[in-house]
Structure 1
Amino acid sequence: MNNPSISVIMPVYNVEQYVPAAVDSVLAQTFTDFELIIVDDGGTDMSVEICASYDDPRIRIISQANRGLAGARNTGILEARGEYIALLDSDDSWDRDKLALHKIHLDNNPQVGVSYSGSRFIDADGTPLRQAQRPKLNNISAKDILTRNPIGNGSAPVIRKTALESIAFLHRDEPRRICFFDETFRQSEDIELWIRMALTGGFRFEGIGGLLTNYRVVSGGLSANIAAQYDSWNRMMKKVENNAPEFFAEVGDEARAYQLRYLARRAVQMGDGAFALALFKDAVSVSSRPLVKEPVKSAVTLLAAAAARYLPTDLVGRLATGWTGGRAFA
């Protein structure tokens, strides 16, 4: 049996509500030379049984004790036989042409290690929202990645396997286990890998046009735990500072301001206006660059935070639904 061109890595952990849409979107790809490696990360619901109900020889299911998202991805990558690695979180889904377009991009640009695209937001029911991630696509620097993370989310990239192998390391507690993502991170594992690749790898990051990923916004998900998310992000920043102190000194404050503004928007999503305003104030106090570079987005964040803080909850909910086009807000 020939090796597939692309290995799709999909960790699964208690996502029975969403995993059918994720699997269906992979099997519906116009490019068909892939394997789908589903990593059962020790969940307790019916997610894996749902995955096992699919009768397709391209699907492999690997079970392990819970390691978190980073650990599940590492397990999948180690099992992968493809030249390219496509990551898909099991609550997201893809446009049917995503793999085909990324393969063309990577085949024709051997210096590109990470190919990515924009993403549309969907709500818990799969309804497309009006908001989308439309990232910078070309001339991506390490600064771009740390401050604005153009890859956007973990279901957007398709990665050259040799690029991952170039930054692999041994697990500190399991010296025979090869890691790509740092398994000490339960959040911020994506940005930690991207910045490590940008600083130490010999491959470029480059995007292609289109919104090819459906990124699900669920208020009860990992991103809703703002305090834990910020703590994890700070640990990532500390790692960057230790490994690249001059780079950190140049861009650290700006990156922190962008992150705090992002978390303010997450707090609005949770309906916590007071917390959102506090986070926005902290962002401005750290660096004014997000205000200067993105004045409209910053102003919208401030207005949304103020509305969530001072307007009645039901009114805020109606305004939020009108703004997003779906039920994205708590």
Structure 2
Amino acid sequence: MDDTLVSIILPTYNRASFLGAALASVFAQTHRQWELVVVDDGSTDDTVDVLGRHDDPRIVYVHQENQGVSAARNAGIARCSGEMVALLDSDDEWLPAKLGRQLAYMQEHGYEISQTEEIWIRGGRRVNQKAKYAKPEGWFFERSLEMCLISPSCTMFTREAWERIGPFDVDMPSCEDYDLWLRACLHFPVGLVAEKLTIKHGGRPGQLSNCVPCADLHRIRALVKILQSGKLDAAQGAAALEALRRKVEIYAQGSEKRGKSDEAKRVWNLFCMVREGKRIPLNTLR
């Protein structure tokens, strides 16, 4: 048995009805060397009671006032002690071989970051993924500019990789994963375990994708951040700027349709400033 300790980071906020299944999927793992850091982000439901049913010294419980998923993940990683880190959202699940297969794959191929394939469940039913969501492997920074191609609950990475790409941006109420994985894809090739070892649920109440408005604005923020990081070469910078232009156009068109012409002009003007090489404050893109 591989004795590598994997730290599982599980943030949760008022998902007591789903948390039990996520926990059960952790306890079912064939790789037994793990610790589970559960970060309760100020839940007001029965989350504590659900966790109290499990008496296992491998569980680390962290409670904080509600600060959002980014702060919760950051807090969990700061408290963990494993040399490998795996993320699990509290409404997702893993198949039993997930940690073991992924760890072995990374060790065999020398990846610092990897993900698995996933099963999509929407409204309680399994659905097929569209071709555009197919997960790539290797270096794919340019492809990741268009959309988020890495799923948090599918990922595992080394502590060394985290030190280079983290933390999650606590000022982003959504698309925080798109922002982090842009940095990851810039610095590392990403491995892919071509097995569906993660079950990803969608269409549930309380999910960020359903609750946070203006996700396009947060993606724009992430692109501006990476463009202003000073870490892109000429080709990467051109690709990121073109992706920013497309997303600004989409956002501006949506603003116009909602009668918000001033907002459309504001964001377009910010894009023009970035295109001209001027730095803009990120707090203008929230």
Task: Tell me which interval the TM-score lies in, with the shorter structure as reference length.
Answer: 0.7 to 0.9
- Contact kept? 2:15, 2:91, Cα under 8 Å: yes
2:46 corresponds to which residue? 46
1:234 corresponds to which residue? 220
1:24 corresponds to which residue? 24
Write the mapping of 1:265-276 to structure 2, written as runs, cut at 5 A.
none
2:113 corresponds to which residue? 114
The alpha-carbon deviation at position 18 of structure 1 amounts to 0.8
Change (3 A) 1:33 1:22: same
Write the mapping of 1:241-320 to structure 2, written as runs, cut at 5 A.
241-244=227-230, 246=234, 247-254=236-243
Change (3 A) 1:105 1:64: same
Mapped partners of 2:119, 2:80: distance in 1? 27
Mapped partners of 1:49, 1:4: distance in 2? 30
2:179 corresponds to which residue? 192
Mapped partners of 1:260, 1:217: distance in 2? 28
2:209 corresponds to which residue? 223
**TM-score, normalization: structure 2?**
0.77
Mapped partners of 2:182, 2:47: distance in 1? 32
1:161 corresponds to which residue? 159
Mapped partners of 2:82, 2:130: distance in 1? 30
The alpha-carbon deviation at position 234 of structure 1 amounts to 1.6
Give 5+ residue unaligned stretches, structure 2: 251-256, 259-286
* RMSD, aligned α-carbons: 2.6
Q: Give the residue type in structure 2 aligned to 1:130.
A: N
1:123 corresponds to which residue? 122
Q: Give the residue type in structure 2 aligned to 1:140.
A: W
Q: Give the residue type in structure 2 aligned to 1:249.
A: A
- Contact kept? 1:52, 1:61, Cα under 8 Å: no
Mapped partners of 2:245, 2:21: distance in 1? 35
- Contact kept? 2:174, 2:212, Cα under 8 Å: no
Give 5+ residue unaligned stretches, structure 1: 169-179, 262-273, 276-330
Mapped partners of 1:216, 1:242: distance in 2? 34
Mapped partners of 1:121, 1:225: distance in 2? 20
Mapped partners of 1:104, 1:4: distance in 2? 10
Question: Alignment partner of 2:37: what SS?
Answer: strand
Q: Give the residue type in structure 1 aligned to 2:19.
A: V
Mapped partners of 1:10, 1:106: distance in 2? 21
Change (3 A) 1:166 1:240: closer
Residue among 214, 218, 231 paired with 2:199: 214
Does 2:4 align with 1:9?
no
Change (3 A) 1:48 1:229: farther
Question: Alignment partner of 2:152: what SS?
Answer: coil
Change (3 A) 1:77 1:226: closer
Question: Alignment partner of 1:155: what SS?
Answer: helix
Question: Alignment partner of 2:118: what SS?
Answer: strand
1:135 corresponds to which residue? 134
The alpha-carbon deviation at position 132 of structure 1 amounts to 6.9
- Contact kept? 2:38, 2:60, Cα under 8 Å: yes
Question: Alignment partner of 1:243: what SS?
Answer: coil
Change (3 A) 1:254 1:232: closer
Does 2:46 align with 1:33?
no
The alpha-carbon deviation at position 52 of structure 1 amounts to 2.2
Change (3 A) 1:105 1:260: farther
Query: Identical aligned pairs, as a percentage?
Result: 30
Deviation track 1:252-299 (CA, whole Å, cap 9, x = no partner) reads 4347758999xxxxxxxxxxxx99xxxxxxxxxxxxxxxxxxxxxxxx
| Total equivalences in the alignment | 245
Change (3 A) 1:254 1:107: same
Question: Alignment partner of 1:76: what SS?
Answer: helix
